[in-house]
Each structure stands twice: as structure tokens, then as C-alpha cells.
Chain A
Amino acid sequence: MTEPASASVTEHAGARAAGPTAGDASNPLFEFLCRMGDDRLILGQRLAQWCGHAPILEEDIALTNFSLDFVGQAAAFLKLAGEAEGQGRDEDALAFLRDENAFRNAKLVELPNGDFAFTLVRQYFFDAWDVLLLDALSRSTHATLAGIAAKALKEAKYHVRHSAGWVLRLGDGTEESHRRTQQALNELWSYTGELFESDEVERALAADGVVPSFASLRAPWETAVRDLLAQATLVIPDDARVVTGGRRGRHTEYLGHMLAEMQILPRSHPGATW
């Protein structure tokens, strides 16, 4: 934000030419911190799209409060990512001057919001995972990462309380709310597997105690999710597909459109300030 415009532009051009390639594990810490930051940035941007459109005022405020938390968390993780990379990119450069294929978020978070049920089922899947991941990261051997995770964990705990409450109410609610929530679940289930995928980045960092094994989060997540969905009278679809690729920069067609909207101001007016 404080950099001169020309520096940002040059860095951006450089990043495009020599940016991380698919599955690059040469700087696993940078890769991982981008995943953490990007999941939050993209989900935060999606949730902000509910501003002025939620079914009731209280939910409008709730979803935008969530958005604020996620964008704040993203700033902290991306700032640390920039430091890990050591190329002079700060959180703003990473958020606004990277192209779609440099984003490392899971595909789950970039999907369009759909209806309120779709947004809340997606949110619950994310939050139930986020609490487990952040709890493990709060014990990371990387002190700053552990500190940011401990801060974010407090927020994740009230996020999951809220999203779980809505999945329960919508699933076990009216015929219409049940139908829409079950449909959201059917559409979203195959996107959850990506959250637990292991790869070189995880193995390199887990060896030093920086991150937990991602796969180890699967069992406690499924236990919590299955229990809540059963209470909500919802049925997990018989769908073993795992839609993946986001962590390697291969995204759905939806991400580019969203980034265009999100990034246009800093890209059209580099270095602009209020």
C-alpha cells in the first residue's frame, strides 16, 4: 500500500513470468500461507456480496461481520506470506496484483453464493474444518503463524456456532428450507475433499511441526458434520468425487470474474490512496 505504483506493477509483471508453478514446493511456507490467506480472502469477498441482499437484516450484518473477520485474517496471513517469499510483496500486492492461476484457495470458497442455504452449508463445511485447522496451527512451531491462528480460532468458534445453527434450522425447518438445504449439500459435498488433501507442501511443513497432517483433520470433521447433518434431517449424498485443483491454481470459471471485480480499482489506479 505504501509502495510506489511502479514497483507494484513491476513486481506483478515479474510474478506473472516467474511466479510459482503448479504444485511448487520450493517455498512450502509461502505456498501454505497463500492457501490460508486466499481461502479467507475469497470467502470473505463472496460473503461481502450478501451485503444488502440477505433475507433478514440480522443475517446481512452477520454475513458481513464474517466477511470482515475473514478479510482481516487474510491480511495477516498474506502479510506473513509476503515476508516468507522475501520478494517485497506485501498483503495488498498479493491480494490485488496476482492473477487467478496464482491463487491457492480451495474451489469450495470461490463458488457463487447461490441461495441462503447454499451459502450457509458451504460456510458450515468451511467453519467446521477451520476450527480444527486453526486449533492445530495454534500449536505450530512457527511462532507468528501460531499467534495469528490462535487469534483467528476465537473467531472461527463463533463462526461455526452460527453456521451450524443455521444448517440445523434450515434442514429441520420447513419443507422448502429442507429441500433447498439438501440440494445445497448435494452440490457442495464433492468440494469438501480438497480441504484434506495431502501434498508436498504439507509434507515439507509437517515434518518441522509447522502444520498438522491435513488428512488427520478429516475424521474429527466428518464426525462433527455427520452428527449435525443427522440432527438437521439431511442426508449426505452418495458422491465420492473429490473436486480439486484450487491449491495448484486451477480454478472454476467463477474465480476470474470475482477477481476482476475485486481487483479493478488497485489495478486501474496503482498506488491509489483514499
Chain B
Amino acid sequence: MVATREQVLDWLHEVKDPEVPVVSVVELGVVRDVVVGPDSVRVDITPTYSGCPAMRVMEDEIVATLQQHGMTNVSVRTVFNEPWTTEWMTAAAREKLRAYGISPPLHLQDDHPTLVPLRRNVVIACPFCGSHTTTLRSEFGSTACKAIYTCNECRQPFDYFKAI
């Protein structure tokens, strides 16, 4: 079956990050390229975090999803030519995160672009009530990509999708 690159990208929107099941691998920026040949398709992906256990799942689901759409010769290649950054996440994907209860990543220029400061003063908004008075509980959370915060207003604990 012959498909266009656009069609394949459209189908790949069905593959979600298993740990953040509201954003697709395309919206997340994990899919770097799709190369459609006469009887094959190759999807290039890059890891979000080096040890992210969801990468293998996403890889398998990319293959399964494209096979469901009739592609038989599907390969997935991991590339490292540009390190993944949360800057690649679209505005729509950020809003989906917020609606899901995860505070979306700040833009890098607002966070820590190059320096490695010991103490930071970064304001993370509560995804539930929108308050800006929140407290970092742990920079490390349930997955490699998230930090744990608590909202001082509505008292709700929440995840922040870290900017890297």
C-alpha cells in the first residue's frame, strides 16, 4: 500500500505517549521524520529522556498502528541528531496537558537555558485553579519528565511537565 508522508503523520497522531495519554508522539516531538518508500515506511524517533521506558512502547505502537492502516514494511529508527526539547511541543499539546491536570512546560528562556543555578525562582501555574502560588515538592516525579508540585491555593498536588 502506498501512502503519502502526510497520511502517515496523520495516522501517527493515534499513537499516544503511554505515560501522558493525551498527547501524540507527533505532538510530543518524538517523531522526527517519516520517509515513505515505494513499498516501505521508516519513522525516525528521538528519545525524550535517555532512560524513558515509554520509548519502546511508543516504538511498538508506531509499528502496530501503521500496520493496521495497511502498511506492511514498517521500520522505526532511533536518531540522536538533535536532542529532544519541550520547545517542540505545540501550543495545542500544551493545552491538552493542562486540561489533563499536568502543568505544561515553561519555555526554556523562562527557565534555565544554559546555567546550572543552585536556587531557582520559577513560577509554575496550578493546572486546576490557575494560581501562581505553588510549591515544588520534588523535582523528580512519577516519570522522568515530571516534577511534583502542590498548589497553595486549592491545595491540590499536581505534576509539572519539566522544561528541558
Contacts and interface: CB of A to CB of B under 8 A. Distances in A.
B53 A161 contact: no
Contacts of A143: 81
B38 interface: no
A147 interface: yes
B52 interface: yes
B50 interface: yes
A72 B138 contact: no
A131 interface: yes
Interface in B41-83: 46-47, 49-53, 79-83
| Most-contacted residue by chain A among B116, B137, B144 (CB, 10 A) | B116
A75 B78 CA distance: 12
B118 A168 contact: yes
Interface string B137-164: 1111110100010000000000000101
Interface in B1-47: 46-47
A164 B116 CA distance: 10
A148 interface: yes
B144 A157 contact: no
Interface stretch (A9-17, A58-66, A250-258): A58-66
Contacts, number: 77
Contacts of B46: 151
A57 to B, nearest CB: 8
Given A70-B51, A73-B51, A62 B139 contact: yes
A148 B49 contact: no
Contacts of B82: 147, 150
A58 B140 contact: yes
Contacts of A151: 46-47, 50, 80, 83-84
Interface string A100-138: 000000000000000000000000000000010000000
Given A62-B138, A147-B81, A71 B116 contact: no
Contact of A147 (B51, B80, B117, B144): B80
Contact of B49 (A61, A67, A72): A72
Interface of A: 58, 61-62, 65, 67-73, 75-76, 131, 143-144, 147-148, 150-155, 157-158, 160-162, 164-165, 168
